[in-house]
Chain A
């Protein structure tokens, strides 16, 4: 079943007439060369950007007329650089609630850490003492504070070494299955897309060249996709 649908979405000079959909409870990866418009596309899902023309639908509702705050709570986003507040891990986990003048209770905070395979001793650790992998986990845990149904991941493993990348991939797949999440994951790494994807969107210069199961990538006759698969793009 489709949960998000793009219909003829264009955005400035970055996206051109994108039409496609995301299946519920599946992992879809955005792949394609740099400058393809992947991040811009992702930000249209939680309304951080709006199309100049065309529409984005969330469960059939046009997000242009949806309550933007409740939409954003449903679609948690983890950014490439995992931006963090100076302070403790708890301060950062508490951030999504603090902006609504609420407090995350300690028990829930510990559960969030356990979800991402960190123990409760991390709660009072200073953010600047964490490794890249630990920061990525905290960033992931933070997206679960609002109990999202969609997870938007913008190259969250790009600065990690191979072992940590595989750990985070396993973690995201586990969380996706346990929480029945729909995941939209930007990656520049084809091997990662193969490991984690149910579906893929292949973007190039703002155009959606291919949408479908990961296997469809290899049967595509599109020259640009073939060049990308050969590592020439």
Chain B
């Protein structure tokens, strides 16, 4: 596909624009901004990836992963700002999950240590962990806000912090994991997953694409579990002090 085809794909921006204008839906500006931003962002990413792939440098590859982790962390930190210490918890979780996944995949020879494989797979893993962590911090914050008396009740019985927040913690972990599990149940029945579609369009044999997709699916499931549990278990102790008193969320 070249720039000419890309220009032609502009038709698919014009069609919704016409519909939106005719029906006076008030989304014209949003569609224009979204289209322009996606063009600029993806072209920049494309150029960066070309540079990193051509340079074949480990340092550039690591830098890209660091940027991905930083951007994903920033997103989650904004949502979880009321949880004490969330900044380092998220950075640590994303880094550990990414590092462990890569060590396993490289160790077992599932992927090669080349930017063309490491970067896209890292992007998918970090992106998924980011969504999971966002779901977790949203639900956990809601749960804590609604269970302050229950938490203090359990502490008043002589319970430890872990006992006091276990219900909120479990509920937040479940909420964050359910979309991943549910989406895996129906995968391939309605739409082909993104990576698999990309490989097939790129000329790969369907079975090869399926195998790559399954690898990513299972990795994502592992990472979903690891990220939720890690964020949860690193977060809750910060809500209490050494006298087993509930400090709670930041105001």
Which residues of A line the B interface, CB within 8 A?
A: 43, 46-50, 68-70, 72-73, 75-77, 79-81, 83, 85, 95-96, 99-100, 145-146, 152
A83 proximity list for chain B (CB < 8 A): 147, 149-150, 153
Contact A99 B157, CB 8 Å, known A48-B152, A79-B149, A79-B152: yes
Known: A68-B243, A81-B149, A99-B163. A48 touches B157 (CB 8 A): no
Whether the Cβ atoms of A76 and B156 lie closer than 8 Å is yes
In the assembled complex, the Cα of A58 lies from the Cα of B148 at a distance in Å of 26
B246 contact set on A, CB distance < 8 A: 48
Report chain B residues within 8 Å CB of A75. Answer: 156
Residues of B within 8 A of A49 (CB): 245
Q: B120 within 8 Å of A by Cβ?
A: no
**Of the candidates A68, A70, A79, which one forms a contact with B153 in the assembled complex, judged by CB atoms under 8 Å apart?**
A79
A141 vs B30: C-alpha distance in the bound complex, in angstroms? 59
Confirm or deny: B155 has a beta carbon within 8 angstroms of a beta carbon on chain A. yes
CB of A146 within 8 A of CB of B157, answer yes
Say if the beta carbon of B244 comes within 8 Å of chain A.
yes
State whether A70 and B158 are in contact (beta carbons under 8 Å apart), knowing that A48-B246, A99-B163 are contacts in the complex: yes
Contacts of A46 in B (CB 8 A): 156
Q: Are B243 and A77 in contact (CB under 8 A)?
A: no
Task: Return chain A residues, CB-CB under 8 Å to B158.
Answer: 69-70, 72-73, 96, 99-100, 146
In Å, the complex CA distance between A48 and B153 comes to 10
By the criterion CB–CB under 8 Å, are A95 and B154 in contact?
yes
Pairwise interchain contact A95-B244, C-beta atoms closer than 8 A: no
Are A68 and B157 in contact (CB-based, < 8 A)?
Answer: no
Our pick among A68, A73, A81, A99 for the contact of B154 (Cβ within 8 Å) is A99
The answer to whether A69 and B244 have CB atoms under 8 Å apart is yes
In the complex, the answer to whether B157 meets A73 with C-beta atoms within 8 Å is yes
Residue of A nearest to B157 (CB): A96
Chain A residues with CB under 8 A of B149: 79-81, 83
* B166 CB, min distance to chain A CBs, angstroms: 9
Once bound together, how far apart are the Cα atoms of A69 and B150, in whole Å?
17
Q: Which residue of A lies closest to B148 (CB)?
A: A83
B144-184 interface (Cβ within 8 A of A): 147, 149-150, 152-160, 163, 167
The CA of A96 and the CA of B245, in the complex, are separated in Å by 17
Chain B residue with minimal CB distance to A145?
B157
Known: A46-B156, A47-B245, A79-B152. 13 other contacts (CB 8 A): A48-B155, A48-B245, A73-B158, A75-B156, A76-B156, A77-B156, A79-B149, A85-B150, A95-B154, A99-B157, A99-B158, A99-B159, A100-B158
Chain A residues closer than 8 Å to B245, beta-carbon distance: 47-50
Nearest chain B CB to A101 CB, angstrom units: 10
Query: Complex Cα distance A22/B136, Å?
Result: 44
| Least CB distance, B56 to chain A, in whole angstroms | 56
Cross-interface CB contact of A72 among B147, B157, B163, B167, cutoff 8 Å: B157
By a CB distance below 8 angstroms, the chain B residues around A146 are: 157-158
Shortest beta-carbon distance, A41 to chain B, in Å?
15
Complexed CA–CA distance, A143 and B156 (Å)? 9
Q: How far is the CB of B158 from chain A (nearest CB, A)?
A: 4
Give complex CA distance A100, B159 in Å: 8
Question: Smallest CB-CB separation from A79: which chain B residue?
Answer: B149
Residues from chain B with a CB closer than 8 A to the CB of A152 are: 156
- A/B interface sample: 9 pairs, CB < 8 A: A46-B156, A47-B245, A69-B244, A77-B153, A80-B149, A83-B153, A99-B157, A99-B158, A152-B156
Give the shortest distance, in Å, between B151 (CB) and chain A (any CB).
9
Which 3 pairs of residues, A with B, have the shortest CB-CB distance?
Answer: A96-B157, A99-B159, A69-B158
**Whole-angstrom distance between the Cβ of A99 and the nearest chain B Cβ:** 4
Return A83 CB to nearest CB of chain B, in Å.
4
Chain B residues contacting A85 (CB-CB under 8 Å) are 150, 167
Smallest CB gap from A76: residue in B: B156
Q: Of B147, B156, B163, which one neighbours A48 at CB under 8 angstroms?
A: B156
Contacts of A47 in B (CB 8 A): 243-245
C-alpha spacing A152/B152, complex, angstroms:
13
- Docked pose: A80 CA to B152 CA in angstroms: 12
Residues of B contacting A43 in the complex (Cβ-Cβ under 8 angstroms): 152
